């Protein structure tokens, strides 16, 4: 039974770890080199209009409408900055978890819980960037696939250690 959980752990890691690892490049490709200085200028312009008492949703100025569309389209900077490195960290920790699961160490219990929580956090903070005509998968969807794979891998690693303990208790 432990062998089956290890096989599922490896398969789930291959899917989840790959998706978490490429999330950084996916987000970078989706941003199309958009610099946040443009976003900051648009936010400043909208704030100035609001301070002047103008309702920005009902204004006919095309530049203000373009600024509003840009602010709606571009995700927050912190999501773009942190989601990619967190994805690489989750992929690395999941790889370490797979190795430790084969070593039959008690540390796997804590590590599998940490990896599962970090996978969930990755999915929560991933930006939802819509794609263009020829672009690939949305980063939010990619992080969801990564989370499911990492969660299954974590559960299998946890269970493989519990099955190992059960086997040693039965033998003893």
Q: Where are the domains of the chain?
A: 2-31+76-171, 35-73
Residue 63: φ, ψ to 5°:
-70, -40
Q: What is the pLDDT of residue 137?
A: 83
The span from the CA of 74 to the CA of 143, in Å, is 18
Q: What is the pLDDT of residue 116?
A: 93
Is residue 83 within 8 A of residue 123, CB to CB? The reply is no
The span from the CA of 111 to the CA of 160, in Å, is 13
Is residue 146 within 8 A of residue 87, CB to CB? The reply is yes
The span from the CA of 83 to the CA of 90, in Å, is 10
- The whole-number mean pLDDT for each consecutive block of 10 residues of the chain, a chain of 172 residues, reads 87 92 81 68 78 72 74 80 91 93 88 94 89 72 93 92 77 64
Q: What is the pLDDT of residue 114?
A: 95
CATH class of 2-31+76-171: mainly alpha
Q: What is the pLDDT of residue 172?
A: 57
Q: What is the pLDDT of residue 35?
A: 66
Q: What is the pLDDT of residue 85?
A: 92
Neighbours of 7 (CB within 10 A): 12
Q: What is the pLDDT of residue 151?
A: 95
């Amino acid at each position: 039974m432990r062998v089956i959980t290890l096989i599922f752990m490896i398969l789930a890691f291959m899917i989840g770890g790959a998706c978490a690892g490429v999330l950084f490049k996916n987000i970078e490709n989706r941003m199309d080199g958009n610099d946040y200085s443009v976003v900051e200028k648009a936010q400043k312009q909208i704030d100035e209009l609001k301070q002047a008492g103008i309702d920005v949703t009902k204004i006919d100025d095309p530049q203000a409408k373009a600024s509003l569309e840009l602010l709606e389209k571009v995700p927050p900077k912190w999501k773009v900055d942190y989601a990619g490195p967190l994805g690489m960290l989750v992929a690395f920790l999941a790889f370490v978890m797979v190795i430790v699961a084969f070593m039959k160490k008690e540390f796997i219990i804590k590590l599998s819980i940490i990896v599962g929580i970090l996978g969930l956090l990755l999915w929560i903070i991933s930006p939802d960037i819509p794609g263009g005509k020829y672009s690939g998968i949305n980063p939010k969807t990619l992080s969801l696939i990564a989370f499911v794979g990492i969660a299954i891998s974590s559960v299998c690693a946890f269970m493989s250690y519990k099955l190992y303990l059960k086997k040693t208790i039965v033998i003893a």
